[in-house]
A and B are shown apart, each in its own frame.
Chain A
Amino acid sequence: MNKTSTIAGQALRDMFSAATTWLEKSSADIDALNVFPVPDGDTGTNMMLTMRSTMEEAYRAPDNSASGVARAMAKGALMGARGNSGVILSQIWRGMAQGLDGKESFNTAEMAEALKKSAEVAYKGVSNPVEGTMLTVMKDAAKEAQAQVEKGEEDIIALLEAVVTAAGDSVARTPRLLKVLKDAGVVDAGGQGIYTILEGALRFLKGETELMRLRKPQIIVSDLPLTVPLPQAIGVDEIPFGYCTEFLIKGEKMDSEVIRKRMEKKGESLIVVGDESAVRIHIHTLDPGTVVQFATKLGTLHQVSIRNMDEQHQDFLEMQKERMPTTDTAVIVVASGDGLIDVFGSLGAAAVIPGGQTMNPSTKDILQAVQSVPSENVIILPNNKNIILTAGQVQSLTEKKIKVVPTKTIPQGVVALLAFDYEADFKANAEIMEKALSSVKTIEVTKSVRATRINGLQIKRRQPIGLLDDELIAAGDTDMDVINKILAKINMKQAEVVTIYYGAEVEVEEAEQISASITDKYPKVQVELIKGNQPHYSYILSIE
């Protein structure tokens, strides 16, 4: 391969022009990564627009010296900087211009110096530099350039190649440095942008213009698996995790897809990224030996890392602990029916104790749930009058602070949980939640277990009966009949939202009919239908 030992202004301009076009192709993909740091719109689009302005100015440079072009670029970047990422990018060009000041052209050493200056100026530009962002990527890129120069590298293409790889690795590492990225399972968008620009410049210098027309930049995949927060304590059982195995293969004409297929069966969490000359592998495997053996046939291995994940898992558990609660109060609820359990879970209940009508949980069941949550302050919503006393017993068995908000029905439990105030303290919250109970009326529809006479109602066995706020007040021929009778007794003018939770034995069509009929009768009310899947009660209605 021909060696490129110096670059003058013309080539500097052309390589970053090509890089801008390259970036443009993936700006939407980069936008999709956007989670942090100071999210200001779409990182990809912002960087692309900033680069456009940068390059427009580059063509207005007074001369073709590297110094002149770089200065023009810095000016264009400053003028057109968009978004946070654009601003930092403009700092990078500013640093570049400082590094190349007075130079007609530059060699590898001068380029490394300019990159170093870029990183320094970029850091300086940010009041509160955060690692795991484009700053880190730029710094790592500059560091690699320096390392290459120290190694005696005189070919600019070779230097840039190493810099691009280092930038790519740095991007892949961003989720390790920044929790928000890890939580979202993405790499830093700005870092990806920097990588893409450098990669575009490199490809241009390598003469891959045709290929750049046809292909699209690759988004670096985070080398950490996406972790979903688990509500319950995990790791109680010893699960073998095996070894987290990572390395880079350098070779020729490698095909990531083929490698991926070959690797797929060797483990889990497989990530294969790279191009035909360098492929990065990440895999969780019980047998790292065979993975490495296979890889050595493809090329040379670099940065090999094999770590025991059982050890890592301990760290992970520690991390889990600190990431969960944003308030020091946990709310736990009693409910049965997977639909209702999901509703409570989705509203932020820290734990759900299975139980309800006819299957009241024991004090021990509730105590266990109390102990399982990471908070010292626990509010219990029994959601049934027969469980309120049991829940009250728990305080004498634990050192945690317990408050029982006496919810007698599921809808009361829901309004109590919704009323939870993130800024209020434990005691105030229990009060706020209890106060909220009066804002809801509950209708429960079930079938009578025997013939009886109660509250002036003559009830046959298996007949649909309805309770309003825990009091039996209606019997009818059908569930709908019962619901209508009870609704007629409520002042529906005050009502805004009716939520219908239908039970495990109810067909969805029937539930939809009931929902539609309520909407018909009370058009101002918003009706919501939820599959509660609760046993015994065909319908539970919440009227707020």
Chain B
Amino acid sequence: MAIRIVTDTLADITGDLAAQLGVTVVPLYVRFGEEVYRDRVDITSEDFYRRLVNEPKLPSTTQPTPNDFAEVYKKLSQETDEILVIVVSSKLSGTFQSATQAKDYFKGKARIEIVDSLTVAMAEGLIVVAAAKAVKEGASLEKVAEMARKASSRSHLIAYFDTLKYLAKGGRIGKAKEFLGSMLSVKQILTVKDGEMAPLTRVRSMRAGLDYLYSVVASHQNNIEGLAVEHTTNPEDADVLVERLGAIYPKARILRSIISPVIGTYSGPNAMAVTILEAEKK
């Protein structure tokens, strides 16, 4: 029986890709006031961003419950006896916690390995993609889990934030708080370092931001195993970037995704991200 892979919605692996990889995606929750939605299940990214911009009160988010994971474990254990769970950085969300606790409550026989990706968005997603590939090639549960844990240091997220308002308000700003308080209107380029948000640099316009994102990818040229471009409310900007990146990486292999509502709660509108999975050193 093949190993089954479970991840969370923050990996930004959406419908088609998830189906193609055979990955089960557990949703986090996003809440507007009293209304609770399952990330990407009860609310589409498009709807979410529309409300994010228009509603006076900011939404909030919560991790899946242990029970949510236990249910998935139970269901999958009817088809397999080995489950690999890859989740968002434990420093950004308690999802790892829930996934781990669910293991205690789960009474089935399947062996479960849980990997803290120490990153988020498609940087997490690219690890899932790599793991799915390793599973297909017949690697053992231990091998795949080890590969996924190691892949974390090869997986880079470079994000363009139009504003830090949402990130600061949501309490996940981490070391990027050094960028708060600027008297000039600036746009921030952030990354994930040691599992939490960290500052990279600042620019004054989206175009300069795209230049920066491009230059980071260019600096990894010929050393890229996976590449993804994600947007929130601005697909046109992502199109421009993908077009440019086509010069250094096959365009058809660049994964596209929309940043999930739960991450969007912190990134705000007009945010973008490129994620790079560096090729493994031989």
Q: Which of A78, A82, A326, A347 contacts B105 (CB 8 A)?
A: A78
Interface 0/1 of A494-538, CB less than 8 Å to B: 001101000000000000000000000000001010100000000
How long is the Cα–Cα vector from A81 to B98 in the complex, in angstroms?
Answer: 9
Closest B residue to A189 by CB, please name it.
B171
Shortest distance between the CB of A429 and any CB in chain B (Å): 10
A418 touches B202 (CB 8 A): yes
Q: Which of A35, A42, A84, A90 contacts B63 (CB 8 A)?
A: A84
Interface 0/1 of B89-106, CB less than 8 Å to A: 011111011101100010
Hey, which chain B residues are within 8 Å of A348, CB to CB? 178-179
Report if B66 contacts A (CB, 8 A).
yes
Q: Which of B60, B181, B182, B186 contacts A42 (CB 8 A)?
A: B60
Hey, which chain A residues are within 8 Å of B50, CB to CB? none
A422-B182 contact in complex given A38-B97, A526-B205, C-beta closer than 8 Å: no
Closest A residue to B207 by CB, please name it.
A496
Hey, which chain B residues are within 8 Å of A45, CB to CB? 31, 60
Report if A102 contacts B (CB, 8 A).
no
A87 touches B101 (CB 8 A): yes
In this complex, the member of A125, A421, A422 whose beta carbon has the largest number of chain B beta carbons within 10 angstroms is A422
A79 touches B67 (CB 8 A): yes
Report if B191 contacts A (CB, 8 A).
yes
A496-B183 contact in complex given A35-B171, A83-B63, A84-B63, C-beta closer than 8 Å: no
Report if A414 contacts B (CB, 8 A).
yes
Hey, which chain B residues are within 8 Å of A34, CB to CB? 171
Report if A346 contacts B (CB, 8 A).
yes
Report if B232 contacts A (CB, 8 A).
no
Hey, which chain B residues are within 8 Å of A41, CB to CB? 31, 60-62
Q: Which of A35, A38, A421, A439 contacts B94 (CB 8 A)?
A: A38
B200 touches A40 (CB 8 A): no
In this complex, the member of B31, B97, B181, B185 whose beta carbon has the largest number of chain A beta carbons within 10 angstroms is B97
Shortest distance between the CB of A87 and any CB in chain B (Å): 6
How long is the Cα–Cα vector from A105 to B72 in the complex, in angstroms?
Answer: 37
Report if A241 contacts B (CB, 8 A).
no
A421-B200 contact in complex given A40-B61, A81-B65, A496-B207, C-beta closer than 8 Å: yes
Interface 0/1 of A407-430, CB less than 8 Å to B: 000000010001111110000000
Report if A152 contacts B (CB, 8 A).
no
Hey, which chain B residues are within 8 Å of A81, CB to CB? 65-67, 98
A39 touches B171 (CB 8 A): yes
Q: Which of A40, A342, A414 contacts B62 (CB 8 A)?
A: A40
A127-B182 contact in complex given A84-B63, A418-B203, C-beta closer than 8 Å: no
How long is the Cα–Cα vector from A34 to B170 in the complex, in angstroms?
Answer: 9
B96 touches A127 (CB 8 A): yes
Hey, which chain B residues are within 8 Å of A87, CB to CB? 63, 65-66, 94, 97-98, 101
Hey, which chain B residues are within 8 Å of A79, CB to CB? 65, 67
Shortest distance between the CB of A348 and any CB in chain B (Å): 6
A38 touches B204 (CB 8 A): no
How long is the Cα–Cα vector from A326 to B178 in the complex, in angstroms?
Answer: 9
Hey, which chain A residues are within 8 Å of B181, CB to CB? 346
Shortest distance between the CB of B192 and any CB in chain A (Å): 12
Shortest distance between the CB of A281 and any CB in chain B (Å): 31
SS of B interface (majority): mixed
* B162-198 contacts to A (CB < 8 Å): 170-172, 175, 178-179, 181-186, 191, 193, 198
Interface 0/1 of A120-157, CB less than 8 Å to B: 00000111100000000000000000000000000000
Interface 0/1 of B227-253, CB less than 8 Å to A: 000000000000000000000000000
How long is the Cα–Cα vector from A354 to B165 in the complex, in angstroms?
Answer: 32
Hey, which chain A residues are within 8 Å of B175, CB to CB? 326
A39 touches B172 (CB 8 A): yes
Report if B199 contacts A (CB, 8 A).
yes
* A242-295 contacts to B (CB < 8 Å): none
B204 touches A342 (CB 8 A): no
How long is the Cα–Cα vector from A233 to B154 in the complex, in angstroms?
Answer: 39
Report if A104 contacts B (CB, 8 A).
no
Interface size on B, residues (CB 8 A): 44
How long is the Cα–Cα vector from A71 to B63 in the complex, in angstroms?
Answer: 24
B98 touches A78 (CB 8 A): no
Report if B208 contacts A (CB, 8 A).
yes
A496-B204 contact in complex given A40-B61, A82-B62, A82-B65, C-beta closer than 8 Å: yes
A127-B198 contact in complex given A326-B175, A528-B184, A530-B184, C-beta closer than 8 Å: no
* B80-137 contacts to A (CB < 8 Å): 90-94, 96-98, 100-101, 105
How long is the Cα–Cα vector from A17 to B186 in the complex, in angstroms?
Answer: 49
Shortest distance between the CB of A31 and any CB in chain B (Å): 8
Report if A36 contacts B (CB, 8 A).
yes
How long is the Cα–Cα vector from A256 to B129 in the complex, in angstroms?
Answer: 60
How long is the Cα–Cα vector from A40 to B62 in the complex, in angstroms?
Answer: 5
Shortest distance between the CB of B206 and any CB in chain A (Å): 8
In this complex, the member of B98, B202, B205 whose beta carbon has the largest number of chain A beta carbons within 10 angstroms is B202
Closest A residue to B105 by CB, please name it.
A78
How long is the Cα–Cα vector from A227 to B96 in the complex, in angstroms?
Answer: 33
Shortest distance between the CB of B104 and any CB in chain A (Å): 8
Hey, which chain A residues are within 8 Å of B29, CB to CB? 82
A423 touches B62 (CB 8 A): no
Report if B201 contacts A (CB, 8 A).
yes
How long is the Cα–Cα vector from A409 to B98 in the complex, in angstroms?
Answer: 54
A414-B184 contact in complex given A38-B97, A496-B207, A497-B204, C-beta closer than 8 Å: yes
How long is the Cα–Cα vector from A78 to B105 in the complex, in angstroms?
Answer: 10
A419 touches B97 (CB 8 A): no
How long is the Cα–Cα vector from A38 to B179 in the complex, in angstroms?
Answer: 21
A80-B65 contact in complex given A40-B93, A423-B191, C-beta closer than 8 Å: yes
Hey, which chain B residues are within 8 Å of A446, CB to CB? none
Shortest distance between the CB of B90 and any CB in chain A (Å): 7
How long is the Cα–Cα vector from A48 to B41 in the complex, in angstroms?
Answer: 24
Between-chain CB contacts (< 8 Å), 6 pairs: A34-B171, A45-B60, A81-B67, A87-B98, A418-B202, A420-B201
Query: A40-B62, A347-B186, A418-B203 given. 12 additional CB < 8 A pairs?
Result: A35-B171, A38-B90, A38-B97, A40-B61, A41-B62, A79-B67, A326-B178, A346-B183, A347-B184, A421-B200, A422-B200, A423-B200
Chain A contact residues, CB within 8 Å of chain B:
34-36, 38-42, 45-46, 78-84, 86-87, 90, 125-128, 326, 342-343, 346-348, 414, 418-423, 439, 496-497, 499, 526, 528, 530, 544
